[in-house]
Amino acid sequence: MAGEPIVRAKGISKTFSGVRVLNAVDFDIYAGEVHALVGENGAGKSTLVKVIAGVYSPVGGVLSLDGKEVSFRSPHAAREAGIALIHQEPLTFQDLNVTENLYLGHTRGRGRALINWPELHKKADELLESLNVRMRSRDPVRGMTIADQQMIEIASALSQNARVIIMDEPTAALSHGEVQNLFGMIRRLKDQGKAIVFIGHRLDEILEISDKITVLRDGSLVGECSRKDADQDKIVHMMINRTFKELIVKETAPIGDVVLETRGLSYPGDYENINIKVRRGEIVGMAGLVGAGRSEVASAVFGTQPAASGEIFIKGEKVTIKNPAMAMKKGIAMVSEDRARTGLLVAFSIKYNITFAILRKIASRFGFVQNRKEQELVNRYVKYLNIKMRDDNQRVKELSGGNQQKVVIAKWLLTESDVLILDEPTRGIDVGAKMEVYRLINELAKQGKAILMISSELPEIMQLSDRVYVMCDGNITAEFSRAELDGQKIMAAASTGRQRSEAS
Ligand SMILES: Nc1ncnc2c1ncn2[C@@H]1O[C@H](COP(=O)(O)OP(=O)(O)OP(=O)(O)O)[C@@H](O)[C@H]1O
Ligand SMILES: [Mg+2]
């Protein structure tokens, strides 16, 4: 695009405790353009946008706004200058309503009594309407979806006249419909001349929404290319020096006896009469649309939300699972899409998190943890998963998102269970890390684990599964063997119930 960029970042460098995480990176942001920023976990994407948004100050390089050099002392200063950073986990206040969340920043310190609330509510409704957002000013934020809370953050930025809106992995927690809704918003903002920076890991999304793509690798700029010169292979190659097809490889493992079986599992409103079997060495895919009830079934097996009726068998023995502790005792482990729910303690060290689930196993007979044994295990899994970190005493919250996910996986792998439930195991993970997770899933199947893998990514399901169940609206609508797998048939089975209910 011709003309001056709104923001020009030139030669930006940043270090944390002496470790260089950004190395003389250039990044320009133009009005009316969606500029995507991609790269593997830990490549420095979040750090770069945090420098631009005034969260961190760089150790080297120059930031300019409309051609004039600037240095923001705080996120607040960057906001005043028209640069807004939308966080992946929205920073909304749950106990307040929409208007209060929208204008909190502007009204702070002015004394709430002096605020003309009716007028502010009216202003909020006008803003929401102009943005084509359905919520209303007086709606409470508690209970809203992440997608709606994101909309509030975007609206809030616009109410402060933001010209540059930076979104760090905004789609990570959204369903397909919500992503499309967000993309509609991004296109409208672009038409209004706003500049958008979009960070993401899903290359189909990147190719759909962006005009320009910048790739970072290990804190350095690999290159920038325009959308029309880019395709998945090219971007993957820039990110990791490998092609897409090399990413998912299925290895066959000998398949043995049934390890996990459910009979007639039901939970009114969530799922009905679920009968599944997972055998030793088998990877069973659970396909379906977001909201089909797959995670709820997983929660029943893992005990986070037991089923209302039905039976669960482990190695042919009927078991009662009322909570995760009971599930773990029966040899069931689960990696969930929601890191907070799987009990990642972000304020604690990587080492602590990894060993937390198995403290008992490595404790000696006398009840204290054997340090050397612990260290050996931690080292082995950190290496196995290729977790990028300074050292294992680093706190988990300092890790990039994808590396946090690997810590969760390591944690459950260490429990050495028979049944492994993976709920969207590669969400928020970059392509390089994905490949490592696929390799790991194959490897675990070879070790004889029974794996139930819930995934909304069809390529993942198609490539890795030995067998696939498809769920729709709480029911299993189809089952395919590996030989029968067909993307279109899976999609059809995933939406049959819906079509039926829409037609009726
Ligand atoms: N506050 C911090 N303190 C110490 N190190 C940090 C901090 N924030 C980030 N890092 C390190 O800087 C590097 C870049 O991290 P960053 O979060 O920018 O990566 P990213 O590209 O956003 O990755 P992801 O895709 O996983 O979100 C990582 O090695 C990370 O561990
Ligand atoms: Mg990040």
Evaluate if residue 258 carries a pLDDT over 90. yes
Residue 37 near residue 31, CB atoms below 8 Å? no
Structure confidence by residue, pLDDT tens digits, 237-249? 888 766 555 667 7
Atom of ligand 1 lying closest to residue 50 CA: 18
Q: Comparing 104-108, 424-428, 452-456, which segment has the lowest mean pLDDT?
A: 104-108
pLDDT confidence tier of residue 501, bands split at 50, 70 and 90: very low
The tokens of 408 are what? 């969760």
Instruction: Return the higher-pLDDT residue of 248 and 164.
Output: 164
Structure confidence by residue, pLDDT tens digits, 72-123? 999 999 999 999 999 777 777 888 899 988 887 655 555 556 778 888 899 9
Ligand nearest to the CA of 47: 1
- Angle, to 10 degrees, between the axis of helix 146-159 and the axis of helix 117-130? 110
Q: Comparing 145-154, 195-204, 267-276, which segment has the lowest mean pLDDT?
A: 145-154
Q: Comparing 278-292, 382-396, 422-436, which segment has the lowest mean pLDDT?
A: 422-436
SS (H, E, C) 87-153: CCCCCCCCCCEHHHHHHHHHHCCCCHHHCCHHHHHHHHHHHHHHCCCCCCCCCECCCCCHHHHHHHH
Atom of ligand 1 lying closest to residue 399 CA: 31
For ligand 1, mutation pick of 38, 47, 50 (most atoms within 8 Å of CB): 47
The tokens of 157 are what? 């930025």
198 φ, ψ (degrees, to nearest 5):
-125, 115
pLDDT at 343 (0 to 100): 60
Q: Comparing 23-37, 80-94, 240-254, 390-404, which segment has the lowest mean pLDDT?
A: 240-254
pLDDT confidence tier of residue 253, bands split at 50, 70 and 90: confident
What is the spatial distance between Cα 248 and Cα 250, in angstroms, rounded to a whole number? 7
pTM of the model: 0.65
Evaluate if residue 291 carries a pLDDT over 70. yes
Q: For the chain, how far is it from start to end, CA to CA, in angstroms?
A: 50
Q: What is the 8-class DSSP label of residue 218?
A: T
Percentage with pLDDT > 90 across the chain: 47
Q: How much distance in Å is there from the Cα of 170 to the middle of ligand 1?
A: 17
Structure confidence by residue, pLDDT tens digits, 295-350? 999 999 999 999 999 999 999 999 999 998 899 889 998 887 665 555 677 788 88
- In the sheet with 332-335, reading across from the earlier edge strand, the strands are 332-335, 419-423, 450-454, 283-288, 467-472, 475-481
pLDDT confidence tier of residue 502, bands split at 50, 70 and 90: very low
Evaluate if residue 294 carries a pLDDT over 60. yes
pLDDT at 368 (0 to 100): 55
CATH no. of 7-92+144-246: 3.40.50.300
For ligand 1, mutation pick of 14, 15, 16 (most atoms within 8 Å of CB): 16
Ligand nearest to the CA of 168: 2
- State the average pLDDT for the chain: 86
Task: Classify each residue of 5-31 as buried b or exposed e, where b means 16 or more C-beta atoms within 10 Å of its C-beta.
Answer: bbbbbeebbbeeeeebbbbebebbbbb
Structure confidence by residue, pLDDT tens digits, 374-392? 788 788 888 877 788 888 8
Ligand nearest to the CA of 399: 1
Ligand 1, atom 13, lies closest to the CA of 42
Sorted by where each begins, the domain ranges of the chain are 7-92+144-246
Report, as an integer, the average pLDDT of 132-154. 88
Q: How much distance in Å is there from the Cα of 48 to the middle of ligand 1?
A: 10
Q: CA-CA-CA-CA torsion for 213, 215, 220, 222, nearest 10 degrees?
A: -90
**What Cα–Cα distance (Å) separates residue 69 from each residue in 62, 87, 137, 168, 192?**
7, 25, 38, 24, 25
| Ligand 1, CB cutoff 6 Å, lining residues | 16, 21, 39, 41-47, 388, 398-403, 430
Q: How much distance in Å is there from the Cα of 78 to the middle of ligand 1?
A: 21
pLDDT confidence tier of residue 236, bands split at 50, 70 and 90: confident
Q: Comparing 112-126, 261-275, 426-440, which segment has the lowest mean pLDDT?
A: 426-440
Neighbours of 265 (CB within 10 A): 23
Ligand 1, atom 19, lies closest to the CA of 42
pLDDT at 439 (0 to 100): 82
pLDDT confidence tier of residue 430, bands split at 50, 70 and 90: confident
Sign of the Cα pseudo-torsion (37, 160, 60, 90, in order): negative
**What Cα–Cα distance (Å) separates residue 406 from each residue in 6, 167, 286?**
37, 23, 21
Ligand 1, atom 3, lies closest to the CA of 398
